[in-house]
């Protein structure tokens, strides 16, 4: 789910509630350059206590399950944990600033917090994708390992400090699926000329394999599959994919995807706002973000499992894995892209090297522990 | 890591700090039956605020990495999030009550919270292992899915309500390893008569395979391997196993284990204490437990990956998987045990059925998503 995927999400509401923000945008008159549009901190009172109001701008359409819900829960939890002394108001994409303007809004103080995916900001700093997802990168658990225990958070702090932002993990989608296809893919050679809706870095990898990568909003995918404009399309996973009905036009469901093995979402806090918070409030923000991340890992796992079951048992979906030669070629293409990102500048290189060092060890453990366990259990049951 | 494993952990301190509690136990004079030993709630003041002091008794020896650290972090985080209004003091096993008396202490109000593994209480209610770990059960992510989103928490609440306890997840070890062996195991027939140190339900499975399951404290394992008293031993995973040096006597490291695919630890709160807390304080306890769980998933993954690397690259450890016929036979034995647990009483049956229903769907998703991803990445890199 990169910028284009998100635009598509905004366009179709991922099956719930439709497009957002059109009306709400009229309530506020955003002028990000001037700052303070959503007001960084407006003291008020509730009973005897001082209430500190904070604004959280997000990249999500209103009522988006999974990611939007995580932002809503984070805001609500900050309120609860602070005993009501912090009151976070969440703004959907387009309500006060656009989905991809939330970073600038927090960076310049127009808003206090954002909830988004940090790989949206790759244009600002090449290394941002490492903190969300890169092809053949880290799973949700592995990101918790690298970011919180393997040096990732310090590097993320250093990267975002350049933009006056304190970053923290605020959700995770878990492993995303490879996509829906009209016909089976039996080897790398089948990819040549195959038109697939796959945006971002994943699309770069697809092109390197000889395929045609197409970007389009989610609301257009179903029609494009139906008319034959595209041969396949990726979206997110069983939970989110189910609602768009791709299985009716493209019954071969390939997975897992190589492009986003666990997209970590980010909550970024304006540095001055952060420094103005009491230590207990800073602890509230960090703990709430960790708690919401744990909730989100469980929710995506539960919902994806439930919806995969429905797709397989009630809709005749054919589950397939990408052929080995395709996966190997995709791995090589991904390595080139990751190396290119690291070549941008000194900090990008340090981030890439830390990431690759962590991935090497995590890969050995995950493959031999969790991966092999799932394999053993599936055979044994 | 069941009761015997824990006793062993207490005996050797898992390589750090040694045995605990001998001195501290003299400070308090525990009399659990009388209640209030550690005092359920002693109001005090800190500046203008009222400080509520809470006691957390644990099953962990002092300074135990991983699990003990999770309890310490949970207590510290509750303090931070409450702005110092809640002050949780952590007691190591034996300081005021023994490792396996913490449940009773909280149940009868002698202590306010415990941090332990709920499968220790299998003697009180047969279904408790489902909320920690059972052979061929759920991974850490899958437990987050079942317990928080798939109905598990409601059943856990119902089970623990019988004992005046509010339960919540408070850490997770992730996948544990199968164990260290002196010789290779090439098939199920090699297990016949093989003496392995493996306690608890895992030991029951081992016996069903024809092996001899032995229980002994951790401090005795190394000597027993050296003298040939046992042929193999399981402990936890690379992080914890590393410090006990088993690799010097038993170089074949089998994994993953089938017995504990992700041991969830529990924080239990006395019901009257819980009901006396303000909603914001209840939110603090829940969020702190979730945050510490997320931290712990990352920490075990990071540390296990780092220590597996050291074992493989610096100590010539030979990594092996259990043969297919052994895994299949173990799966059958585990199913029998799980079915037996469910036959105990009505609530146990409902818990087992909820667990098995969740496992079926989670198994399909995990195998095809995360499991297949790790496999694809390992081949592609």
End-to-end alpha carbon distance in chain B:
34
Contact (CB<8Å) B374/A371: yes
pLDDT at A219: 77
- pLDDT category at A48 given cuts 50, 70, 90 is low
Scored b (16 or more CB within 10 A) or e, B328-359 reads bbbbebbeebbeebbeeeebbebbbebbeebb
Do residues A152 and A140 lie in contact, with contact meaning Cβ atoms separated by under 8 Å? no
Q: How far, in Å, CA of A65 to CA of A56, rounded?
A: 17
**What integer pLDDT is reported at residue A187 of this predicted model?**
97
pLDDT band at B216 (very low <50, low <70, confident <90, very high): confident
The alpha helices in chain B, defined as continuous H runs, are: 3-12, 67-81, 102-107, 140-149, 152-161, 200-208, 218-227, 238-242, 271-276, 279-314, 324-342, 346-366, 372-380
DSSP state of A27: T
Name residues whose C-beta falls within 8 Å of residue A201's C-beta, 6 or more positions apart in sequence: A2, A119, A129, A134, A135, A259, A334, A337
pLDDT in tens, A264-278: 999 999 999 999 999
| Residue B47: per-residue pLDDT | 52
CA A273 to chain centroid: 24
Is B363's CB within 8 Å of A371's CB?
no
Residue B363 to residue A378: CA distance in whole angstroms: 7
* Average of per-residue pLDDT across B226-250: 95
Determine how many CB atoms are found less than 10 A away from the CB of residue A153.
16
Residue A116 has pLDDT above 60, yes or no: yes
The nearest CA of chain B is from the CA of A181 a distance in Å of 17
User: CB of A139 within 8 Å of any CB in chain B?
Assistant: yes
Flag whether residue A301 sits within 8 Å of chain B, measured between CB atoms. Answer: yes
Contacts of A369 in chain B (CB under 8 A): 174-175, 177, 237, 255-256, 304
B216 inside 8 A of chain A by CB: no
Nearest CA in chain B to A286: B291
Residue of A nearest to B361 (CA): A305
Taking one residue from A and the other from B, the number of pairs with CB-CB distance under 8 angstroms is 274
Question: Between chains, do A305 and B361 touch, taking CB under 8 Å as contact?
Answer: yes
Yes or no, beta carbons of B261 and A139 under 8 Å apart: no
Query: Which residues in chain A are closer than 8 Å to B374, comparing Cβ atoms?
Result: 139, 363, 366-367, 370-371
Mean pLDDT of chain A: 89
Say if residue A312's pLDDT is above 80. yes
Mutation pick from A81, A83, A135, A369 vs chain B, by most beta carbons of B within 10 Å, is A369
Chain-chain contact of B365 with A319 (C-beta, under 8 angstroms):
no
The pLDDT confidence band at residue A237, using thresholds 50, 70 and 90, is very high
Say if the Cβ atoms of A297 and B294 lie within 8 Å: yes
Token pair 């332990």 is found at B116
Tokens 């960084």 belong to residue: A40
Cβ-based burial of B182 (10 A; exposed 0-12, middle 13-18, buried ≥19): middle
Average pLDDT estimate for A133-139 = 97
E-only strand ranges, A79-208 = 86-91, 113-116, 165-172, 179-181, 195-197
Q: Give the residue on A whose Cα is nearest the Cα of B312.
A: A364
Burial of B186 by CB count in 10 Å (0-12 exposed, 13-18 middle, 19+ buried)?
exposed
Q: Say what the pLDDT of residue A12 is.
A: 37
Mean pLDDT, to the nearest integer, of A210-233? Answer: 92
Out of B280, B308, B322, name the one closest to residue A365 (CB): B308
| Residues in chain A closer than 8 A to B145 (CB atoms) | 298-299, 301-302, 305
- What value does the mean pLDDT take over residues B30-35? 32
Distance from CA of B315 to the nearest CA of A (A): 16
Tell me: the pLDDT tens digits for B286-315?
999 999 999 999 999 999 999 999 999 999
Judge whether residue B370 has pLDDT over 50.
Answer: yes
pLDDT for residue B20 is more than 70: no
Chain A partners within 8 Å of B380 (Cβ): 136, 258, 327-328, 330-332
Average pLDDT in chain B: 89
Non-local (6+) Cβ contacts of A176 within 8 A are A1, A234, A236, A237, A256, A257, A259, A260, A261, A263
| Contact yes or no for A373 and B261 at CB 8 A | yes
Burial class (CB in 10 A: 0-12, 13-18, 19+), B316: exposed
Report how far residue B49's alpha carbon sits from residue A185's, in angstroms, rounded to the nearest whole number: 66
Bridge partners of residue A86, in order along the sequence: A52
How big is chain B, counted in residues? 381
B residues 41-100 closer than 8 Å to A (CB) = 77, 80-84
Percent of the residues in chain B that have a pLDDT greater than 70, as a whole number: 87
To the nearest 10 degrees (0 to 180), the angle between helices B140-149 and B346-366 is 130
Distance from CA of B177 to the nearest CA of A (A): 7
Give every CB contact of residue A47 below 8 A, 6+ residues apart in sequence: none
Are A163 and A298 within 8 A, CB to CB? no
- Yes or no, beta carbons of A298 and B80 under 8 Å apart: no
From B144, B286, B378, residue closest to A363, measured CB to CB = B378
The answer on pLDDT for A53 being more than 80 is yes
Q: What is the pLDDT of residue B3?
A: 52
Going by the DSSP 8-state scheme, the letter that residue B277 receives in this structure is S
> Residue B103: its pLDDT value, please?
98
CA gap A71, A230 in Å, rounded? 33
CA separation (Å) from B341 to A363, B123, B167, B335? 36, 11, 20, 10
The answer to whether A336 faces chain B, any CB pair under 8 Å, is: no
- Indicate the helix (H) or strand (E) that contains A302: helix A279-314
The H or E element that residue B168 is part of is strand B165-172
Q: What is the pLDDT of residue B8?
A: 45
CB atoms within 10 A of CB B124: 15
Reported confidence tier of residue B48, pLDDT bands at 50, 70, 90? low
> Is A42's pLDDT higher than 50?
no
Structure-block tokens of residue A42: 């407006």
How far apart are the C-alpha atoms of B120 and B247, rounded to whole Å?
28
B123/chain A closest Cα distance in angstroms = 27
**pLDDT for position B199:** 85
Report d(CA A182, CA A228) in Å as an integer. Answer: 9
Say what the pTM is.
0.89
Kindly determine whether residue B375 and residue A367, on different chains, have CB atoms separated by under 8 Å: yes
Residue A27 CB burial class (10 angstroms; 0-12, 13-18, ≥19): exposed
Give pLDDT tens digits for B119-159.
Answer: 999 999 999 999 999 999 999 999 999 999 999 999 999 99
C-alpha to C-alpha distances, B92 to A182, B22, B55, nearest whole angstrom = 60, 10, 11
pLDDT at B167 exceeding the cut of 50? yes
A80:B368 CB<8 A: no
Q: What is the mean pLDDT of residues A206-213?
A: 97
Which residue in A has a C-alpha nearest to residue B287's C-alpha?
A: A291
Question: Rounded mean pLDDT of A148-162?
Answer: 98
pLDDT of residue B10: 40
Tokens 């399309």 label which residue? A233
Rounded to the nearest angstrom, the gap between the alpha carbon of residue B104 and the centroid of all alpha carbons in its chain is 18
Residues 272-291 of B with CB under 8 A from A: 278-280, 283-284, 286-288, 290-291
pLDDT greater than 60 at residue B351? yes
Q: How far is CA B179 from CA A367, B17, B320, in A?
A: 17, 24, 10
B361 and chain A: CB distance < 8 Å anywhere? yes
CA distance A112 to A245: 38
Q: Strand, coil or helix: what is A319?
A: strand
Between B81, B147, B374, which is nearest A366 by CB?
B374
In angstroms, how far is CA A321 from the centroid of its own chain?
23
Is the pLDDT at B19 greater than 70? The verdict is no
Cβ distance A261 to B146 less than 8 Å, yes or no, reads: no
Please state whether B167 falls in left (phi above 0), alpha (psi between -120 and 50) or beta.
beta
Q: Residues B1-10: pLDDT tens digits? A: 555 444 444 4
């Amino acid at each position: 789910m990169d910028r284009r995927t998100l635009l598509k999400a905004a366009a179709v509401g991922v099956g719930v509630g439709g497009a957002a923000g059109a009306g709400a945008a009229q309530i506020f008159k955003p002028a990000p350059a001037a700052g303070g549009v959503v007001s960084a901190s407006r003291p008020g009172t509730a009973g005897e206590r001082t209430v500190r109001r904070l604004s959280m701008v997000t990249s999500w359409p209103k009522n988006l399950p999974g990611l939007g819900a995580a932002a809503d829960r984070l805001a609500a939890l900050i309120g609860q944990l602070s005993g009501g002394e912090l009151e976070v108001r969440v703004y959907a994409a387009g309500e006060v600033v656009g989905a991809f303007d939330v970073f600038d809004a927090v960076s310049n103080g127009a808003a206090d917090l954002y909830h988004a995916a940090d790989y949206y900001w790759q244009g600002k700093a090449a290394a941002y994708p490492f903190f969300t997802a890169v092809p053949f990168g880290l799973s949700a658990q592995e990101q918790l390992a690298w970011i919180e225990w393997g040096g990732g958070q310090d590097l993320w702090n250093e990267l975002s400090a350049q933009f006056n932002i304190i970053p923290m993990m605020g959700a995770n989608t878990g492993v995303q699926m490879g996509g829906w296809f009209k016909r089976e893919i039996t080897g790398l050679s089948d990819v040549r000329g195959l038109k697939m809706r796959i945006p971002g870095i994943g699309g770069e990898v697809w092109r390197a394999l000889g395929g045609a990568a197409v970007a389009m909003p989610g609301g257009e995918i179903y029609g494009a599959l139906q008319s034959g404009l595209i041969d396949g399309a990726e979206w997110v996973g069983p939970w989110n994919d189910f609602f768009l009905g791709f299985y009716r036009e493209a019954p071969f469901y390939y997975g897992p995807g190589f492009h986003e093995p666990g997209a970590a979402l980010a909550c970024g806090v304006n540095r001055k706002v952060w420094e103005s918070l009491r230590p207990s409030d800073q602890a509230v923000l960090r703990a709430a973000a960790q708690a919401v991340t744990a909730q989100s890992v469980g929710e995506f796992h539960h919902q994806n499992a439930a919806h995969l079951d429905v797709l397989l048992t009630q809709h005749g979906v054919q589950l397939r894995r990408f052929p080995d030669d395709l996966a190997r070629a995709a791995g090589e293409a991904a390595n080139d892209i990751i190396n290119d990102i690291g070549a941008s500048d000194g900090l990008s290189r340090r981030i890439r090297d830390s990431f690759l060092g962590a991935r090497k060890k995590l890969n050995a453990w995950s493959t031999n522990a969790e991966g092999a366990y799932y394999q053993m259990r599936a055979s044994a049951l």
